[in-house]
Amino acid sequence: MRLSFDTYWPLLFLLLIPYLWWVQRKTLTDLSPKHLRLSGTVRSAIVALLALALMQPVIYRSGVWLSVVYLLDVSQSVSPPAIQSSIDWIQQTNNSGHPDQARFIPFAANSTVFDTLDQLKKVEVASKSNQGSIDQSATDVEGAMDTAIRSFAPHHLKRLVLISDGNENSGHMMNMLYAFAVEGRRRPCVHRSGTGAHEPRCLGRNDHGACHGHGRRAIPPGGPCLQPGGHSRRSRGQVWR
């Protein structure tokens, strides 16, 4: 923990403190010496606190506050056993990581945000658009990522875990990443995985060095990420740091 100040010119106000005591000694009053000392102390404290406030003190405290959002593809192209396996992996990963904040978002054509994993396990799905349920007729990863980004806790390290088979037929995930680059904002760490028959493949890295990959299993924290050329390379970006 350390303390710093944004500006130092208010220190000039401290020069008023000796002047206040000098004026007090030269002023005739019917107060007792004890009351005069108390009055001078209070006035000096007010000036000192005013100067301190104008200096805009900032306390820096070291620590890691982590906000994690799990995006789970529950569209028709993902089998129920694969969805259940992904939920089990999310539960294991979240329990081992202990993030300060976690959100769980099932998605297909639409998405919804849950505060607990138990709510995710009970999500309602339908083969067509229906109020209160997830429409499984399409896969909109871009829309789900937009919802996820707005679900992060402020002033936290942001980690987005995307579990999908990559069969995106509505929107385009890379549009979201491109928007972050154009706006000059730091993209959240994204791990993209799925339920296909091939191993995870690295699609690119964000500002934190994280892999955007897809494959038959979720990329574990610190796990290897295969480059398009097939060479294994360990990802520096992790779900937990």
CA distance 224 to 204: 14
Pick from 224, 139, 149, 221: nearest CA to 185: 149
E-assigned strand segments in 45-168: 57-60, 66-73, 101-107, 125-126, 134-135, 157-163
Domains of the chain: 2-60 (no CATH), 66-234 (3.40.50.410)
Average pLDDT estimate for 68-88: 91
pLDDT score, position 18? 92
Average pLDDT estimate for 218-240: 33
pLDDT(236) > 70: no
pLDDT score, position 88? 92
Average pLDDT estimate for 10-16: 92
pLDDT score, position 3? 87
Render pLDDT for 127-178 as a digit per residue (tens, 0 to 9). 877 777 898 888 888 888 889 888 999 888 888 888 988 777 777 777 776 6
Q: Higher confidence at residue 9 or residue 169?
A: 9
Whether the model clears a pTM of 0.75, i.e. scores above it, the answer is no
Q: Higher confidence at residue 230 or residue 114?
A: 114
pLDDT score, position 35? 87
